[in-house]
Amino acid sequence: MDFALTDDQVALRETARRFATERMTPVAAELEAGDVPLSAEWRRQYADMGFLGINVSPKYGGLGMTNLDALLVLEEFAKVSSAVAFPVFESNVGPARAIEHFGHDNLKRRVLPAMCAGEIVVAVSMSEPDAGSALTDLTTRATVKGDTIVLNGQKRWCSGGGHSDGYVVYCRLSDDPGAKGIGAVYVEKDRPNVRFGPNEELMGFRGIPSADIFFDDVEVPADNLIVPAGGFPRLMEAFDLERCGNATMAVGQAAAALDDALAYVQERRQFGKPIVDFQAVQLKLADMAMRVEAARLLIHRAAQNASHGLPSVYESSLAKCFANEIAREVCGTAVQLLGGYGYSKAFPAERRFRDSWGWGIAGGTIDIQKVNIAAALVGRRFNQRG
Ligand X SMILES: Cc1cc2nc3c(=O)[nH]c(=O)nc-3n(C[C@H](O)[C@H](O)[C@H](O)COP(=O)(O)OP(=O)(O)OC[C@H]3O[C@@H](n4cnc5c(N)ncnc54)[C@H](O)[C@@H]3O)c2cc1C
| Residues found near ligand X in the complex (CB under 6 A) | 123-127, 132-133, 157-159, 202, 205, 358, 361-365, 367-368, 371, 384
Between 142 and 362, CB nearer to ligand X: 362
Closest distance to ligand X from the beta carbon of 138 (Å): 9
Backbone angles phi, psi at 162, to 5 degrees: 90, -25
The CA-atom distances, in angstroms, between 295 and each of 49, 150, 178, 321 are: 27, 42, 33, 9
Closest distance to ligand X from the beta carbon of 348 (Å): 18
Between 125 and 316, CB nearer to ligand X: 125
Between 153 and 338, CB nearer to ligand X: 153
Closest distance to ligand X from the beta carbon of 187 (Å): 13
Closest distance to ligand X from the beta carbon of 78 (Å): 14
Contact 107, 187 (CB under 8 A): no
Backbone angles phi, psi at 138, to 5 degrees: -60, 150
Between 160 and 281, CB nearer to ligand X: 160
What is the rounded CA–CA span in Å between residue 9 and residue 111?
27
Tallying the residues shown for the chain, one arrives at 386
What is the rounded CA–CA span in Å between residue 322 and residue 294?
9
The burial class, CB within 10 Å (0-12 / 13-18 / 19+), for 136 is middle
Closest distance to ligand X from the beta carbon of 59 (Å): 27
Closest distance to ligand X from the beta carbon of 10 (Å): 32
Between 202 and 254, CB nearer to ligand X: 202
By Cβ distance, which residue is nearest to ligand X?
Answer: 132
What is the rounded CA–CA span in Å between residue 283 and residue 289?
10
Closest distance to ligand X from the beta carbon of 357 (Å): 8
Between 145 and 385, CB nearer to ligand X: 385
Closest distance to ligand X from the beta carbon of 125 (Å): 5
Between 10 and 134, CB nearer to ligand X: 134
Between 51 and 205, CB nearer to ligand X: 205
Between 66 and 125, CB nearer to ligand X: 125
Closest distance to ligand X from the beta carbon of 105 (Å): 26
Closest distance to ligand X from the beta carbon of 239 (Å): 10
Between 181 and 358, CB nearer to ligand X: 358
